[in-house]
Structure 1
Amino acid sequence: MSTPADGAAYWLRWQVFVCGALIAVPTALAAALLPRLRRSVAPLRATDLWLPCWPRLHPGCLLGYRAFALAAAAALLVRDIVPHGPRVFFFYTQWTFLLVTIYFAVATAISAHGCWSYSKKSLRKTDEYGDVENRDLSTSISGERKNDEKDKMASYYEQIANEKRAAFWGRCMQIIYQGSASNTFICTKFTAFKTLTVCCYVVLNLSNFFQVTDGMHSVNAVLLLIDTLLNNMPFPWYRIAFFVFWSCSYVTFQWVIHASGALSWWPYPFLDLASPGAPLWYLAMAVAHVPCFSAYWLVVKAKRAYFPRMFPQAYVRTS
């Protein structure tokens, strides 16, 4: 079987043109979704980036979790780079894990700024929120008092609904969040049971957190799923465009380094264009982006649909 190092003959195969089309078409379709970003009905608010979806949970808790996730992701990434060097970034898994690490870095910084802003709020708003948090919500409270409490919760969230829209870094954070979340599903080669097993292992063996076998394939998903359960960020379907851009960028990167002769082997055999079945593999990977993104989108949708019913006094949907 020929390799990219064999020269022009490799790149003149019919598979190259078909696979190139399978990269170009999804990229064009993703680009067609970009105008939808400006027509968004529910624009991203600055408070969505750092305020938890649980009114009783102090924003500092989300900040603390994100700082922990950043440290964990960075340590795991460094642990992989030190013995193997930069060549680990020939693999899509490391690309994705780097993106997850960047997300938690940006999210930690924005959460820290949000907590600082939160501490500077007027005494009136702080007292009002504290009154909502500290009220007794036991089942013995009368229905009238519960309704009054719900009204105060709604009043508080009406206040933050008028907050300014997210700025440049906030929008970048949402883009990275949605791209990395979807990527964790396409990268993870474990079943749900396997992922649950890894979660249990991490909880029971916290001291060995960085010794989890194939940790990058599942730890990134675990870290992001926990963040999703805590944060209040929207997850619009049309942002699948950035997920597609990320994957197409990786494949383009592989083509470029192979065409330049910098690499003579393919990190993933199904990317090898010399195989007659390469177009089928490329098509399968392109199609796989839809269920992977949809799976995470459904997780967020289920959270927003069922949590208000399951935890009516503890969870408030704001967008």
Structure 2
Amino acid sequence: MALIVYWYDFICFGIVLAAIVASLWFLLRRERGCIDVGVMVAQNSLLLMSRSESESLGSVRLWASCWRRLHPGWILFTRSISFLSMTALLAWDLIKWDASIFVYYTEWTFMLVMIYFAVGILASVYGCLECSKEPTLENAVVDNVEDEFRQRLGVYGCFMQTIFQTSAGAVVLTDVVFWLLIVPFQSNSHLGLNMLMICMHTANAGFLLIDTVLNRLPFPWFRMGYFVIWSCLYIVFQWIIHACGFAWWPYPFLELDRPWAPLWYLCMAIAHIPCYGAYAAIVKAKNTFFPYLFPNAFVIT
């Protein structure tokens, strides 16, 4: 073991373990919708679900826009541009720094956002096909979505929404830590502010915000649990590679050889609440103010 463990490190371990257990417990209590979808698909009894549940976990919210008469092709276009642009940036990052760059939380979050756009592209492609079969985009499509499709896409829809909500919280945390903590106070051989870093720490939030303005995906608070688990997995990954001999910490506040490490870990755990809440506030503001600003064009999600 290359990682020296001090007595106060067990407090850090306890904080992370408590965050994982609390998140799993909360998600198991609140995520019944997606669990029920999986069970109903297996039993071929999804028709027992209400229409609202099918819509929220099924097809329409995945590809339809919150703007009336906006063709899903526009969402497909923005998601495709976002995915291709982020792929180019990640390739640039790998060429410049090699695969070791994935020790950073930024790259983990960047990949997660790319996965969301990849999944969203598939949903948007289907939406374009559905729209081509119907004369209108809204009520006619919702009323005529086939039950077989809802069965297939129920779990897929829950998966896509979960990635979206996890990505949103992780992007806020990444950019807040980078722009407010690392850039002003850290400068070492492993970190130097350059155009690539600026692009990566603006593209992740920028592309996701554009998609948020266009999509109809909900943003429930309970799914913050996935965001917390995502961060905890990254921390456990850091512990493992340091135990195997990795020398330096990409983020100083994760170092375990400091007596104040438990305080840092506790602060970072608490920081997940305002980070997720900030993006939830953006979605809430969209659904609150846009109907007044654009009463004939906006559909409340």
Q: Compute the TM-score of the two structures, normalised by the length of structure 2.
A: 0.81
Equivalent position to 1:33, from 22, 26, 45: 26
Equivalent position to 1:15, from 3, 8, 11: 8
Q: How does 1:249-268 map to 2 (within 5 A)?
A: 249-261=233-245, 263-268=246-251
* 1:178 match: 165
1:115-159 Cα distance to aligned partner (Å, 9 max, x none): 1122123xxxx1xx28xxxxxxxxxxxxxxxxxxxxxx7x55873
8 Å CA contact 1:190–1:218 kept in 2: the answer is no
Say which SS state the counterpart of residue 126 (structure 2) adopts. helix
Q: 1:315 to 1:162 in 2, by over 3 A?
A: farther
8 Å CA contact 1:47–1:160 kept in 2: the answer is no
Say which SS state the counterpart of residue 167 (structure 1) adopts. helix
1:168-221 Cα distance to aligned partner (Å, 9 max, x none): 322211111111111111011347xxxxxxxxxxxxxxxxxx956522112100
Gaps of 5+ in 1: 131-152, 192-209
Count of residues in correspondence between the two structures: 263
Which letter maps to 2:23?
A
- How much does 1:114 deviate? 1.7
Which letter maps to 1:120?
K
Q: Which moved more, 1:83-92 or 1:39-48?
A: 39-48
Q: How does 1:145-184 map to 2 (within 5 A)?
A: 156=140, 159=143, 164=150, 166-184=153-171
Determine whether 1:76 maps to 2:89.
yes
Q: How does 1:79-94 map to 2 (within 5 A)?
A: 79-94=92-107
Q: Compute the TM-score of the two structures, normalised by the length of structure 1.
A: 0.77
Q: CA RMSD in A?
A: 2.3
Which letter maps to 1:87?
S
Q: What CA distance in whole angstroms lies between the structure 2 residues aligned with 1:190 and 1:231?
A: 27
Q: What percentage of residue pairs aligned between the two structures are identical?
A: 42
Equivalent position to 2:274, from 264, 270, 291: 291
Which letter maps to 2:22?
L
Q: Which moved more, 1:235-244 or 1:39-48?
A: 39-48
8 Å CA contact 2:64–2:215 kept in 1: the answer is yes
Which letter maps to 1:119?
S
8 Å CA contact 1:184–1:218 kept in 2: the answer is no
Gaps of 5+ in 2: 35-51, 181-193
- How much does 1:258 deviate? 1.1
Which letter maps to 1:274?
D
Q: 1:61 to 1:83 in 2, by over 3 A?
A: same
